[in-house]
Structure 1
Amino acid sequence: MLDPTIGYLIDFCGAALLAGAAGHKWRRLGDFSESFAAYRLMPAAWAHGLARVIPILESAICVALILPWAHRGGALAAATLLSIYAVAIALNLARGRRELDCGCAGPGRRRPIGAWMVWRNLLFAALLAMAASPWSSRPLTAADLLTITAGLTVIALLDVSIEQLAAEIAPRGLAIRGRA
């Protein structure tokens, strides 16, 4: 059985991840639709239609993750969605399409796909699948709430740092590879 402190931490981190992802897509749905269609996983007309559904799905899963009675389904849905994202990126990397925009960097920001994104999404999917397992029924204490809050803060700061590094380093890596 999973300790509820760990379960809540994973669920809330998953909710924050999906809220941010959905927010980026809602702000520039047309740009996301183009990025999504560029993956070439289905006919373009289907891709543009599905691109409009994805932020709805991400938003719904985000809400499910924070509702105690829906968190298990939300965690499984999030794990499935992140696994699908990992497969889509891996397929395009296998095709040699490393310059493809991931569609995850937000409005006006382009980030090429990379193997690290596959592993990141699979790690998040595994954690969320773990959060879907049964939790211990012990009540939360003040120390648990502090642990969840501190954990969310640290993970948010790490996420911002990693995103900034990816925005700065990934384009330079592509430029260096292009010169070699």
Structure 2
Amino acid sequence: MADFLIQPMVLWALRIFLALLFVAAALSKLRHVEEFYGVVRNFRVLPDLASRVVALVLPVVEAAVAVGLVVTPLAVPAAVAAAALLLVFAAALAINVLRGRTQIDCGCFRNGLKQPVSWLLVLRNLVLTALALAIATGLPAAVPASLTEGATGLLAGATAMLIYLSASLLGGLSAAQTANKTAKGR
């Protein structure tokens, strides 16, 4: 398994996937700053002022992580930063699931579809953390990618991101349908 994670194509695929994930998250939050502030505040893990600061700063940090992941000299620290952010997100999600606050929006992507927090989202963030750590630990031992390996990794990472976004949208649609059925049943 360790040899697999130092393959240049695999590392590029992981880097591109996580970079696209972070840039998509950052852009969606930047487009909906006030709404994202409400999401952060609704998690009830930070004081109001800190929630405001996080809502303003987090998208910029996410964008910086995305850029760092694709710039090879910055990729290892960016991957460590990505892992740290994802762990913080997992912790915030877990705190709210433990509190029974599973109807709040995760705030992952501001796509108009609310995705309620759940243990599945905690697990998702932990898996993404593992991917970021795989980059951080695998990249120093990897040989440079050939043009073909880099291009293949780019396409694989972009494809993985499209699948990820599609699954997220489907999850949001499912949650919206459930909410509509519940509201109509009242």
Normalising by the residue count of structure 2, what TM-score does the alignment of the two structures yield?
Answer: 0.87
Spell out, residue by residue over 1:100-119, the C-alpha distance to the aligned partner (whole angstroms, 9 max, x if none): 11112315432211221111
On the 8 A contact 2:28/2:110 being kept in 1, the answer is yes
Mapped pair 1:101 → 2:105: yes
CA distance in 1, matches of 2:109, 2:65: 20
How far apart are 1:142 and its partner, in Å?
4.3
Q: Distance in 2 between matches of 1:17 and 1:42?
A: 24
Is 1:14 matched with 2:23?
A: no
Pairwise CA distance, 1:139: 3.9
Deviation per residue, 1:26-84 (Å, 9 max, x gap): 00101100110110102112211222111111111111111111100000000110111
CA contact (8 A) 2:22 2:62 kept: yes
For these two proteins, the number of residue pairs brought into alignment is: 180
From 98, 109, 117, the counterpart of 1:113 = 117
Q: 1:172 aligns with which of 159, 174, 177?
A: 177
Gapped runs of 5+ residues in structure 1?
none
In the alignment, structure 2 segments of 5+ residues that lack a partner are none
Offset of residue 173 of structure 1: 4.1
- 1:144 corresponds, among 122, 137, 149, to 149
Q: Is the 8 A contact 1:82 1:124 kept in 2?
A: yes
Q: What are the equivalent positions in structure 2 for 1:61-80 lying under 5 Å apart? A: 61-80=65-84
Is the CA contact (8 Å cut-off) linking 1:112 and 1:171 kept in structure 2? no
C-alpha RMSD of the superposition: 2.1
Q: CA deviation at 1:160?
A: 3.0
Structure 1 residue 149 displacement after superposition: 3.3
The equivalent residue for 1:37 is: 41
1:144 maps to amino acid: E
Select the residue among 99, 103, 127 that pairs with 1:123.
127
Which residue does 1:51 correspond to in 2?
55
Matches within 5 A, 1:149-168: 149-168=154-173
Tell me whether 104-113 or 26-35 shows the greater mean CA deviation.
104-113
The AA in structure 2 aligned to 1:169 is: S
TM-score, length basis structure 1: 0.89
The amino acid that maps onto 1:25 is K
Q: Is the 2:12–2:150 contact (alpha carbons within 8 Å) kept by the matching residues of 1?
A: no
Residue of structure 2 aligned with 1:5, choices 9, 17, 32:
9
1:133 aligns with 2:155: no
Bigger helix fraction: 2
> 1:28 touches 1:107 (CA, 8 Å); kept in 2?
no
